Structure 1
Amino acid sequence: MIELKDVSKVYPNGVKGLEDINLTINEGEFVAIVGLSGAGKSTLLRSINRLVDISSGDIKINNQSITSASGKSLRLMRRDIGMIFQSFNLVKRSSVLRNVLSGRVAYNNTFRTIFNLFPQKDVNLALKALERVNILEKAYTRSSELSGGQQQRVSIARTLAQEAKVILADEPTASLDPVTTKQVMDDLKKINKEDNVTVVINLHFVDLAKEYSTRIIGLRAGKVVFDGPAKDATDEVFQEIYGRSLKDDELLGDEIE
């Protein structure tokens, strides 16, 4: 369970990224965060694993504050939180398998990870993760040789190898074509259902949010303006989130992100 209590973020230039956010995300939910570019989606997502430090309030993961955690405690909390980035965040010169094994770094000592001496059980876990996202045959391929969709599935496999209990995905399909987008979203939904992994995902395509999520959180200017089941997210709700009718934006292009 993820709890955000009175969370605010003010950047050094005075811009408010988040303002008085109060949310509880339960285990096993598939939550989509939507809103205009600059609404605070990425700030909210990255505050959950402390990639962004909040200015006030508290964030708890399973009743333990990640806001005040440090050292080993923080590392152990982050071990349970997988992160998927829009830009894939892979080491392009390394093999697919090596990138997936990076999800096991927090389980091994520094010597093992520096010299790529992962135990066989970790290798087997990484190979199984690649099999689950249907790219096992690419295990020994250099990551730079993969398509964008394949690279994103490597990122998903990395969170599986990490045995993450929570997956945070920041616009994971923004640079992908529609067919590949469906493959990536299907993988995330499958992991959510089969493994009961909590998924919190930033999306700029409303149709994806409605199709895949069980819950939608709408942000506007750093504030929550909607929080409810995906089925309750009507055109009127999205008009409140985006400040205009979505009928004026046929496919939600670059302006709505």
Structure 2
Amino acid sequence: MMMKVGNILIEFKHVSKIYPNGARGLKDIHLHIDKGEFVVIVGLSGAGKSTLLRSINRLHMITEGEIIVNQKSITRAKGKELYEIRRDIGMIFQNFNLVRRSSVMRNVLSGRVGYHSTLRMVLGLFPNRDKELALEALERVGLREKAYVRADQLSGGQQQRVSIARALAQEANIILADEPVASLDPLTTRQVMDDLARINQELHITMVVNLHSVELAKEYATRIIGLRDGEVVFDGAVSEATDEVFEQIYTKEDKKHAKMRVAE
């Protein structure tokens, strides 16, 4: 994609990841993601999607190269600087990563922990502004009326939308979503993806999302990055993602299976 000077939010500089057993998870990744993009990463299981995504907030350590976030090296950052970089990056997990016995409100407020002392958070002393942010976030995903319901009383789709609200309450300018709809049925899949797309468009929050489904990638992304065996084999606009391109990412059988995930 064309580089937008001064608008780069995330940059990979020759990034590689080698596991202790010698397997190479990422191979010389060099790319940038601009502010406001909705980037979908596609590829087979084991292609390196999660490793790439989780290296952005350093949940996975890289072996070689450097990752720049908001013009700061998260690769080299330590202590307070690392803490502050991560505070700007929200994370949505496949399994929701909620405290199921806690209320929806408390789960959303956990997105504010990066702004306060540990003692204050242990005691649950959230200021009124945090509570207002949490309620606004829940309103945006259509769950304000569930604020004081326990998280384990919600459906899977609702729980995932609570995790989106948590990232919003965090006031993150980047949201990473690692297979956010993999455990959801087709209807709730659409609802969650619609929420992410609307947040991207209305709040200009940069989205980086891992998906198995080719059809969802085509429908929601502004840009698709295809990985195979830890290497970028495609990086471009949705309009450029032809059937021939997907043949580079998937075998024919794999591609058919990816399409069927939405149709089921």
Note whether the superposition's TM-score is higher than 0.5.
Answer: yes
Name the residue aligned to 1:202.
210
**Distance (whole Å) between structure 2 residues aligned to residue 194 and residue 219 of structure 1:** 29
Aligned-pair CA distance for 1:243: 3.0
Name the residue aligned to 2:225.
217
> Do the aligned partners of 1:238 and 1:245 also contact (CA within 8 Å) in 2?
no
Aligned-pair CA distance for 1:245: 5.9
* Equivalent runs, 1:15-34 vs 2, <5 Å: 15-34=23-42
* Equivalent runs, 1:36-185 vs 2, <5 Å: 36-185=44-193
> Do the aligned partners of 2:246 and 2:255 also contact (CA within 8 Å) in 1?
no
Find out whether 1:231 has 2:239 as its counterpart. Answer: yes
SS of the residue corresponding to residue 251 of structure 1 reads helix
**Distance (whole Å) between structure 2 residues aligned to residue 252 and residue 8 of structure 1:** 32
For structure 2, the 5+ residue unaligned runs are 1-8
After TM superposition, the structure 1 stretch with the greater mean CA deviation from structure 2, 240-249 or 9-18, is 240-249
Identity of aligned residues (%): 66
**Distance (whole Å) between structure 2 residues aligned to residue 206 and residue 80 of structure 1:** 29
Task: Provide closer, same or farther for how the CA distance between residues 113 and 31 of structure 1 changes in structure 2, counting only shifts above 3 A.
Answer: same
**TM-score normalised by length of structure 1:** 0.96
Name the residue aligned to 2:3.
none
> Do the aligned partners of 2:175 and 2:206 also contact (CA within 8 Å) in 1?
yes
Aligned-pair CA distance for 1:250: 7.1
> Do the aligned partners of 1:239 and 1:245 also contact (CA within 8 Å) in 2?
no
Aligned-pair CA distance for 1:67: 0.2
**Distance (whole Å) between structure 1 residues aligned to residue 112 and residue 138 of structure 2:** 14
Aligned-pair CA distance for 1:112: 1.2
Aligned length in residues: 254
**TM-score normalised by length of structure 2:** 0.94
Aligned-pair CA distance for 1:190: 0.7
SS of the residue corresponding to residue 252 of structure 2 reads coil
**Distance (whole Å) between structure 1 residues aligned to residue 48 and residue 73 of structure 2:** 21
**Distance (whole Å) between structure 2 residues aligned to residue 143 and residue 204 of structure 1:** 27
Aligned-pair CA distance for 1:248: 4.3
**Distance (whole Å) between structure 1 residues aligned to residue 236 and residue 130 of structure 2:** 39
RMSD of aligned C-alpha atoms?
Answer: 1.3
For structure 1, the 5+ residue unaligned runs are none
User: What code does the residue aligned with 2:239 have?
Assistant: K
**Distance (whole Å) between structure 1 residues aligned to residue 260 and residue 139 of structure 2:** 33
Task: Provide closer, same or farther for how the CA distance between residues 163 and 248 of structure 1 changes in structure 2, counting only shifts above 3 A.
Answer: closer
**Distance (whole Å) between structure 1 residues aligned to residue 256 and residue 224 of structure 2:** 21
Aligned-pair CA distance for 1:126: 0.2
Find out whether 1:249 has 2:261 as its counterpart. Answer: no
**Distance (whole Å) between structure 2 residues aligned to residue 78 and residue 138 of structure 1:** 28
Aligned-pair CA distance for 1:13: 1.1
User: What code does the residue aligned with 2:75 have?
Assistant: T
**Distance (whole Å) between structure 1 residues aligned to residue 240 and residue 224 of structure 2:** 9
- 1:104-125 Cα distance to aligned partner (Å, 9 max, x none): 0001111110011100110011
User: What code does the residue aligned with 1:24 have?
Assistant: H
**Distance (whole Å) between structure 1 residues aligned to residue 34 and residue 224 of structure 2:** 13
SS of the residue corresponding to residue 35 of structure 2 reads coil
